[in-house]
Structure 1
Amino acid sequence: MSADDDFALWQKKVEGTNISSATLLATDYLNHFNEIVMLLEMVPDMPDMLEDCQEWAPKGYQQHFHDSAFSDRELAIEAYDHVPDKFRRPFEETIEHMNAVVLRANEQLAVVINEGNPEIIRMTANSTTAALQRFMDVASSIIHGSAKTMSQDEIDAAMAL
């Protein structure tokens, strides 16, 4: 079976589910990142929330669904192996950037919280959540079939917290 035939077969399998038939990806995966965004947004007012942020860990797409209550989780896990490279590569690269932003932000927030300047804490948390939102927007567009990603300049700007 050709890659195109395989993809067409999987597109039919995911019809009527919350998995995109354009890419075989599901936006539910982004909930993993929505969690950390919500936690990071609380840090300026409750610096002790950093502990919860530091407990957050990157989680692969299939692992996220394995651990979730998503109604089509088994299908999402299985379909991921059939996502065409033109979507999978930029999606995975975007996720890697998001993971790096979170990990670096946790380190930076620990430093600025220790220094005790509330304005710097707020600026650091806000710039982190803005960067994550930008990457989530890109990931969401990929999930829905866009091949558009961020330019290297946009990535560098988002990564420069």
Structure 2
Amino acid sequence: MVDEADFTAWQKKVEGTNISSTTLLATDYLNHFNEIVMLLEMVPDMPDMIEDCKEWAPKSYQDHFRDSAFSDRELAIEAYEHVPVRFRQPFEETINHLNTIVGHAVTQLEMIIADGNEELLRETAHAITVSLQKFMDVASGIIHGSAKTMSQEEIDAALAL
């Protein structure tokens, strides 16, 4: 549990960086998901890209920064331990939904490719990337301090692809 004095001290530490002083989170983490969205968007035109999609794997926030060239990566890694639960919990839930969608998407698209249904492949890939983008928008909002998340109905619809 992060206390307010600790949080306030960390807000000052991240001022002037690409880490939100509102939440102590950085949008750079979403680049990990932008990568898989771009790959999934290519699958209908280049079905062999599914192999690249299969190589993508979930990566924790801190692991993303450990592996990145982000200028404030050490600060981002350390600051994550000080993110208040009011931001961290919905953020982590949203990231879990993104990872779940990607896992199901790759399996689903692989089966459609095997069946050779190009139209279904195009429609499904589009629906998946739209769903991922919705969750990425929510994650971005949380990073910037928004309390808005998705309703359970919206989450269920997005995960039902």
Any unmatched runs of 5+ in structure 1? none
Counterpart CA distance in 1 for 2:149 and 2:84 is: 16
Which residue in 1 is equivalent to 2:14? Answer: 14
> Cα offset for 1:148?
1.2
After superposition, residues 32-51 of structure 1 pair within 5 angstroms as 32-51=32-51
> Cα offset for 1:69?
0.1
Runs of 4+ in 1 over 4 A off after TM superposition: none
Counterpart CA distance in 2 for 1:75 and 1:112 is: 43
Which residue in 2 is equivalent to 1:134? Answer: 134
Counterpart CA distance in 2 for 1:123 and 1:108 is: 12
Which residue in 1 is equivalent to 2:150? Answer: 150
Deviations 1:8-35 (A, max 9, x none): 0000000000000000000000000000
Matched residue SS, 1:71: coil
> Cα offset for 1:147?
1.3
Matched residue SS, 1:128: helix
Deviations 1:101-143 (A, max 9, x none): 0000000001000000100100111011000000000000000
Matched residue SS, 2:136: helix
Any unmatched runs of 5+ in structure 2? none
Which residue in 2 is equivalent to 1:26? Answer: 26
Report whether the alignment pairs 1:103 with 2:103: yes
Kindly, what percent of the aligned residue pairs are identical? 74
RMSD over aligned Cα atoms: 0.7
Counterpart CA distance in 2 for 1:149 and 1:21 is: 20
Q: How many residues are matched?
A: 160
Matched residue SS, 1:146: coil
Which residue in 1 is equivalent to 2:59? Answer: 59
